[in-house]
Amino acid sequence: MNHPQPLNPGMAPMAIPGHIDPVPVPRAFVARQDGRVDLLGLTKADLRMALETAQLEPKQAKLRAKQIFSWIYNRGVTEFALMTDIAKDMRGWLEQRFVVSRPEVVEAQVSNDGTRKWLLRSDDGQDYEMVFIPDADRGTLCVSSQVGCTLNCRFCYTGTMRLVRNLTPGEIVGQVMLARDALGEWPSQPEGRMLTNIVMMGMGEPLYNFDNVRDALKLVMDGDGLALSKRRITLSTSGVVPLMARAGEEIGVNLAVSLHAVTKEVRDEIVPLNRKYGLEELLQACADYPGANNARRITFEYVMLKNKNDSDDDARELVRLLKKYQLPAKVNLIPFNPWPGADYECSDPERIARFSDIVFKGGISAPVRTPRGRDIMAACGQLKSASEKKSRAELDRLAAEKQAALG
């Protein structure tokens, strides 16, 4: 069985980590069906290049790129007619050649607890989801990086999907833009925001879409645009060890690791990527992660599965492992969120409390995450764009295919 291709036809494969010569390479700007080029997801340099490609004189292109960047990412404007510091005839010229898009919203749901979930659709008809979780002191947007997922973590609904393709930088940053639209948070202001934090924890494995995730997050962090601090952005990985150091160096946001087990046997079962990059290798990569310290701790996600990974011995081993690698760590204990066809049950509340207590007494923060958005299937591990139901046999067959492809 062939491994599903994660990239759009015509796009270059993801670069192998290693030395890269800093030579600027012109981008191929792909026109939409209406012949216009979408500017969403482009950096200042890309905007300038797009304008020059459309035969705008270079000095003009540099000035207009700076103006357009601010209108798109700082003020959230999608119509050139509203870009009032640009001459009227130039606005008309831009309108003929370019567009500033948003993801198409197929469905928007609001949970009883205020959590919002959007089902989005791309130009090529692919569906993906994003979730906004409001709290008293923060508002967190859970952003997807892929349509489907290459991995098949057995407790995760998204993991039952095939990987269709990577999301583009525009589709990734577009989720943030759309949430800002919905919350009425334009222009960008550093104070008083409802959307204060971003977590790359939606559909997909972010490090298997490294370049696009990096480029999108650089736009989110740009001080002239969305201006969200890197301290307020967390990237979650299931443990793609070869790309973790590069993520720290090139993106520099907070790291979260989907750990979920402390023995090879159990983690091999529930996070099969562990068969490729084992626990010890993963924890060493965490110890080597650039910028991790007590002020910027690494978060370890740990889903609580009844009679699988929730014993007192598991809790003690978790403490031992994190201390062995001297990791500045925080553990998020996640009550398992059920979904159709799941093999597992959530640990009892008393068991979760006991597990948390053991880790706390070991000197490591271990709060229990309150499940949010369960009633609209927006909770952790529940995102899945397709509405079709698969039998247990189909899920097992798909999991076996993915594992074979991973090697």
Please pick, among 129, 171, 205, 301, the residue that the annotation labels catalytic.
Answer: 129
Q: Which helix (H) or strand (E) holds 315?
A: helix 312-324
In the chain, the N- to C-terminal Cα span, in Å, equals: 12
Measured between alpha carbons, how far is 126 from 95 in angstroms, rounded to an integer? 26
Strand duo 146-147 + 98-99: pairing: unpaired
Contact 107, 129 (CB under 8 A): no
Please pick, among 156, 286, 346, 380, the residue that the annotation labels catalytic.
Answer: 380
Question: Would you call 301 helix, strand, or coil by DSSP?
Answer: strand
Sorted by sequence, the CB contacts under 8 Å of residue 258 that are 6+ apart come out as 153, 236, 237, 238, 239, 271, 301
Measured between alpha carbons, how far is 146 from 7 in angstroms, rounded to an integer? 10
| Phi, psi at 401, each rounded to 5° | -65, -45
Measured between alpha carbons, how far is 267 from 279 in angstroms, rounded to an integer? 8
Q: Is 107 a catalytic residue?
A: no
Dihedral sign for Cα atoms in the order 284, 289, 295, 301: negative
Q: Is 153 a catalytic residue?
A: no
> Catalytic residue positions?
129, 380
